[in-house]
Copies of this chain bind each other. A is one copy, B any other.
Amino acid sequence: MIQCCCGMPHDLGRRGLLAMAIAAAVVPARGHAAPASAGPADPAVLDDLVVANHILFDQGVVDGFGHISVRHDKDPNRYLLARSMAPALVAADDIMEFDLDSVPVDPRGRTPYLERFIHGEIYKLRPDVVAIVHSHSPSVIPFADTKIALKPMNHIAGFLGTGAPVFDIRGAGGPATDMLIRNNALGKALAVTLGPHPVALMRGHGSVAVAQSIRHVVFRAVYTEVNARVEAQALAMGGKPEFLNPQEAEAAMKTNDGLVGRPWELWKRHAEAKS
């Protein structure tokens, strides 16, 4: 029996004590209470978030690592993200709520991702952003590591515009990090590099994509990987690709933003048939 901060004694048992220990580890060091919840999110948004986790695995964007979040539909200062686990296995009960400092509202013993700060800091700097994907999708990494510009090979990847910026953690984190965005300062540095772009690459790590909805960000994450594969082939062939010019890229992105429902239905059916 312990005395809770609510003033009531509780018999928590081993599981409850573990949950509290984990919660303690993720609340701000200054001893602030856990942030208040924005209340239940729209079930349709939650459902899309779970499905998006499965799609990103099925389409080869994430493997055991990587994550996707959505801004809370009731409060722009809260976001939703699965607990630390493989995206393919995420279910509704694994979704946690965070404030924009990436402090969990009610962890209930669930461990959050080490890199949740990517999400919180981008939501702070980018009020237009509603959903974020972080991944190590394999064809993108060579662009992050070589600084060869990742640019749109066709209209589907028009959102890449004039090329994705590259974030190098050595700038904000020094030469000896474990490469992870493990705190708000690193998250903010990444968000600043991202700037107004839909995609940023991360040297020695992977990439991040942002958009106005879960379906849009899944579209961008999938086609960032596809475009990287296509551009890599063109370069390996010894070619000099003629990329979309900025006007073409912008116009194509606008058109495609109206069409994201089409691949979403396909990917959803494909991913859910397997799970």
CA–CA, A119 and B144, complex, Å: 37
Docked Cα-Cα span, A150 to B205, in Å, equals 16
Contact A155 B205 (CB under 8 A): yes
Q: Are A146 and B239 in contact (CB-based, < 8 A)?
A: yes
**Complex Cα–Cα for A103 and B263 (A):** 25
Interface pairs A-B: 4 shortest CB-CB:
A64-B263, A146-B239, A142-B234, A155-B179
Does A177 lie within 8 Å of B146, measured CB to CB? Answer: no
**Chain A contact patch, size range:** 35 or more
Contact A148 B239 (CB under 8 A): yes
- Residue from A176, A244, A248 having most chain B Cβ neighbours under 10 A: A248
Q: Is the CB of A204 within 8 A of B242?
A: yes
Closest to A274 in B: B273
Given contacts A154-B205, A204-B154, A266-B89, contact A239 B178 (CB under 8 A): no
Contact indicator A145/B239 (Cβ below 8 Å): yes
Q: Choose the segment among A8-16, A69-77, A80-88, A184-192 that binds chain B (4+ C-beta atoms closer than 8 Å).
A: A80-88
From B147, B243, B267, contact of A145 by CB (8 A)? B243
Chain B residues with Cβ below 8 Å from A85 are 262, 265
What residues of B have a CB within 8 angstroms of the CB of A244 in the complex?
A: 179, 204
Q: Is the CB of B229 within 8 A of A138?
A: yes
Per a CB cutoff under 8 Å, which of B142, B179, B254 touches A233?
Answer: B142
Within 8 A of B (CB), among A245-275: 245, 247-248, 251-252, 254-255, 259, 262-267, 269-270
Complex: A153 Cα to B143 Cα, angstroms:
11
* A193 on interface, CB distance cutoff 8 Å: no
A171: Cβ under 8 A from any B Cβ: no
Q: Does A30 contact B (CB under 8 A)?
A: no
Question: Would B229 and A267 count as touching, CB distance under 8 A?
Answer: no
Q: Does A230 contact B (CB under 8 A)?
A: yes
What residues of chain B lie closer than 8 Å to A265, measured between beta carbons?
A: 64, 85-86, 89
